[in-house]
């Protein structure tokens, strides 16, 4: 069996999805979960792209011990220096440096000749090797590059010290047969290829990212890159959970091993979906809500007689629990702690107290508290920033009647600690509430998206709201949950506004778990 390394880029390429904006605490939570999932390498961000990204990569590098942490850099000395500063404390620091190699990218984007690109690539890999032991070099848009140019440049960057050669299908253009053939050609024609590992990185513009990744593995690639839930630029990246499960279910066809812990798939997928606000479609392979639902009578009959008739993946394999009824009104602190630890949460004492209080409040209002409810409360508490100047909701009231003008009154505290209060109207309850918040918050706010959903089912289900907005010209997203839709809406609004401060000011004094 050949071993394949899993390289997760949810926090870098995934975070490049339109409207996705994770803060440092959320990135740390995802990083910890990726470590638990067993990824070999995680790309924590692009340190030179912003101060927020730099700090998040540094915090992840200092926290994660069982996966190698990497960061992206363009082929410039300053990007590489910044990446080193962010990554040098990692257990196994690793650099990912890239430059485009396709004729169209070299001519129009880089405005460089192929010779200049080759020289830059070699110089920057040599420069990076003075700092990093592990250097991955990527030929951006490799699948539309000329093969003989790839052979020449790869030979030279390996001589310069590259330890991994990644050949991305940057625009999701290639087909499985073509992509596999490219790797075969490189293996057969690059004389020093045995000194580096080959890696694939696929985008899903034509819906072939997973198939292309599997074709690459069949043609000698020993590292596969992708994201959780397939999130990423445009149509996204290859979905790692799909690759993992395909390799497992079709071992007969794919004799490869990975270090992934498949039963962590569901939690990883949930965490990424909640934090990014990118909902997993019901029919998504492996992690969609309907992936294990059997609707038609014929299918149900077959599954009852023998599950294998229609079910090739079991819910248990990917960590989907069927018995998710949980604690009730009378459950004590001990049972609560056991339960949340079982769900993968380890909270500090203060956060545990806060979570227990929130749980008790919920049991007063809701007959059955499910795992999904608990997960929602816990991720909010776990990633809540403490000791940071921000806006805090004190209280609000909304008056709505079918014949009245909806009116909201809100009280909140500003980052300076001043309590402010006012009222506004709107054509609906949410608009009245948001008009009032906008009047109180002295930032330039423009709401671009509002999405309301329920956590689980039932008339007493928790509401979850995701918003996107620009605050002082910066795109941010926000998340809020509560039993009431208006409270969830207010929380999401304030959560988004606070990100503008938090992205730059949070410093992690102690790990949240
Ligand atoms: O898709 C791509 O080409 C990339 C590179 C930066 C590796 O994400
Ligand atoms: Zn990419």
Tens-place pLDDT, residues 26-59: 999 999 999 999 999 999 999 999 999 999 999 9
pLDDT band of 456, cuts 50, 70, 90: confident
Residue 395, pLDDT above cutoff 80: yes
Whether 450 is covered by a domain: the verdict is no
Domain extent for 423: 398-440
**Does any ligand 1 atom lie closer than 6 A to the CB of residue 140?**
yes
Tell me, what CATH number does 86's domain have? Answer: 3.20.20.70
User: Cα of 127 to ligand 2 centre, how many Å?
Assistant: 23
Choosing from 72, 95, 204 the residue with most ligand 1 atoms within 8 A of its CB, the one to mutate for a pocket test is 72
β-bridge partners, 202: 169
- pLDDT tens-place string over residues 403-443: 999 999 999 999 999 999 999 999 999 999 999 999 999 99
**Does residue 15 form part of some domain?**
yes
Is 334 annotated as contributing to ligand binding? no
Asked if the model's pLDDT at residue 513 lies above 70, the reply is no
- Decide: residue 296, CB within 10 A, 0-12 exposed, 13-18 middle, 19+ buried: exposed
C-alpha of residue 232 to centroid of ligand 1, in Å? 11
372-389 burial: b if 16+ Cβ within 10 Å, else e: bbbbbbbbbbbbebeeee
pLDDT of res. 325: 54
Do residues 223 and 333 share a domain? no
Q: Read off the pTM.
A: 0.92
What is the C-alpha to C-alpha distance for residues 38 and 26, in angstroms, rounded to an integer? 19
Q: What is the pLDDT of residues 356-382, one digit of tens each?
A: 999 998 888 887 788 889 999 999 998
Do 313 and 348 belong to one domain? no
- Residue 202 Cα to ligand 2 midpoint, Å, equals 7
If one residue of 45, 70, 201 were mutated to test the ligand 1 pocket, choosing by the most ligand atoms within 8 A of its CB, it would be: 201
Whether residues 256 and 338 share a domain: the answer is no
Residue located via tokens 């390498």: 41
The reply to whether 192 and 247 lie within a common domain is yes
In a domain, 505, yes or no: no
* 230, 8 contact by CB (below 8 A): no
- The verdict on 140 and 230 lying in the same domain is yes
- pLDDT reported for residue 311: 86
pLDDT band per the 50, 70, 90 thresholds, residue 67: very high
Number of domains observed in the structure of the chain: 4
Nearest-angstrom CA–CA distance, 218 and 211: 11
Which of the ligands is closest to the CA of residue 233?
Answer: 2
**Residue 236 falls inside a structural domain:** yes
Are 14 and 233 in contact by the 8 Å Cβ rule? The answer is: no
Asked if residue 481 is part of any domain, the answer here is: no
Does 314 lie in the same domain as 212?
A: no
Which of 261, 162, 177 is closest to 216 using CA atoms? 177
* Mean per-residue pLDDT over the chain, rounded: 93
pLDDT band at 19 (very low <50, low <70, confident <90, very high): confident
Do 350 and 317 share a structural domain?
no
Beta bridge partners of 423: 409
User: 94-108, 114-128, 159-173, 293-307 — which is least confidently predicted?
Assistant: 293-307
170 in contact with ligand 1, CB cutoff 6 A: yes
**Confidence category of residue 354, pLDDT binned at 50, 70, 90:** very high
CA 73 – CA 125 distance, rounded (Å):
11
**Is the confidence at residue 327, as pLDDT, over 80?**
no
Domain co-membership, 188 together with 241? yes
Return the half-sphere exposure (C-beta side, CA atoms, 13 A cut-off) of residue 111.
Answer: 0
Give how far Cα 375 sits from Cα of 258, 322, 341, 370, Å. 28, 15, 11, 9
Q: Is the pLDDT of residue 504 over 80?
A: no
- The C-alpha R_g of the chain, in whole angstroms, comes to 24
Q: Is the CB of 201 under 6 A from ligand 1?
A: yes
Provide mean pLDDT across the span 19-23: 88
In a domain, 453, yes or no: no
pLDDT at 501: 74
**Section 273-287 average pLDDT:** 95
Contact yes or no for 47/54 (Cβ under 8 A): yes
pLDDT of residue 22: 92
- CA of 72, closest atom in ligand 1: 6
For residues 380 and 123, the model is more confident at 123
Q: Is 98 in the pocket of ligand 1 (CB under 6 A)?
A: yes
Asked if pLDDT for residue 113 goes beyond 90, the answer is yes
For the stretch 157-185, pLDDT in tens is: 999 999 999 999 999 999 999 999 999 99
- Residue 96 labelled as part of a binding site: no
Q: Tell whether 114 and 68 lie within a shared domain.
A: yes
Classify residue 190 as exposed, middle or buried by CB count within 10 Å of its CB (0-12, 13-18, 19+).
Answer: buried
Percentage above 70 pLDDT, the chain:
97
Distance 212 CA to ligand 2 centre (A): 14
The answer to whether the CB of 7 is under 6 A from ligand 1 is no
């Amino acid at each position: 069996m050949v071993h394949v390394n899993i390289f997760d880029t949810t926090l870098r390429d995934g975070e490049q999805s339109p409207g996705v904006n994770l803060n440092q605490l959320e990135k740390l939570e995802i990083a910890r979960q990726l470590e638990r999932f067993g990824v070999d390498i995680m790309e924590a961000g692009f340190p030179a792209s912003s101060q927020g990204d730099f700090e998040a990569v540094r915090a992840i590098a200092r926290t994660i011990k069982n996966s190698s942490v990497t960061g992206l850099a363009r082929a410039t000395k300053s990007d590489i220096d910044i990446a080193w500063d962010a990554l040098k404390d990692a257990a196994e620091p690793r650099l990912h440096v890239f430059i485009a190699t396709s004729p169209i990218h070299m001519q129009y984007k880089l405005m460089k000749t192929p010779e200049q690109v080759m020289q830059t690539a070699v110089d920057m890999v040599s420069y990076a090797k003075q700092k990093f032991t592990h250097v991955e070099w990527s030929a951006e848009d490799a699948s539309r590059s000329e093969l003989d140019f790839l052979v020449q440049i790869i030979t030279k960057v390996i001589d310069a010290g590259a330890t991994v050669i990644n050949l991305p299908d940057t625009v999701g253009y290639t087909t499985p047969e073509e992509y596999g053939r490219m790797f075969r050609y490189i293996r057969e024609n690059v004389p020093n290829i045995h000194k580096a590992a080959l890696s694939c990185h696929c985008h899903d513009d034509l819906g072939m990212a997973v198939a292309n990744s599997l074709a690459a593995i069949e043609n000698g690639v020993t590292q596969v890159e992708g994201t959780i839930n397939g999130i990423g630029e445009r149509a996204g990246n290859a979905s790692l959970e799909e690759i993992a499960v395909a390799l497992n279910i079709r071992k007969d066809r794919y004799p490869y091993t990975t270090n992934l812990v498949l039963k962590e798939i569901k939690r990883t997928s949930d965490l990424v979906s909640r934090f990014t606000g990118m909902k997993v479609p019901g029919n998504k392979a492996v992690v969609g809500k309907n992936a294990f639902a059997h609707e038609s009578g014929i299918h149900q009959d077959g599954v009852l007689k023998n599950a294998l008739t229609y079910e090739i993946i079991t819910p248990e394999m990917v960590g989907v629990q069927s018995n998710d009824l949980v604690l009730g009104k009378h459950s004590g602190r001990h049972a609560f702690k056991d339960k949340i630890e079982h769900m993968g949460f380890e909270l500090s004492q203060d956060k545990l107290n806060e979570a227990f209080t929130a749980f008790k409040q919920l049991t007063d209002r809701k007959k059955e508290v499910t795992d999904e409810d608990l997960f929602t409360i816990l991720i909010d508490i776990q990633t809540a920033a403490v000791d940071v100047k921000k806006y805090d909701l004190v209280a609000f009231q909304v008056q709505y009647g079918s014949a009245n003008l909806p009116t909201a009154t809100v009280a909140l505290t500003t980052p300076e600690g001043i309590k402010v209060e006012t009222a506004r109207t709107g054509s609906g309850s949410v608009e009245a509430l948001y008009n009032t918040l906008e009047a109180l918050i002295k930032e330039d706010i423009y709401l671009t998206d509002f999405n309301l959903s329920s956590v689980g089912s039932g008339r007493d289900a928790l509401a979850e709201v995701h918003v996107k907005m620009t605050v002082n010209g910066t795109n941010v997203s926000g998340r809020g949950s509560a039993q009431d839709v208006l409270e969830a809406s207010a929380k999401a609004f304030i959560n988004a506004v606070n990100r503008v401060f938090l992205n730059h000011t949070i410093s992690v004094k102690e790990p949240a778990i």
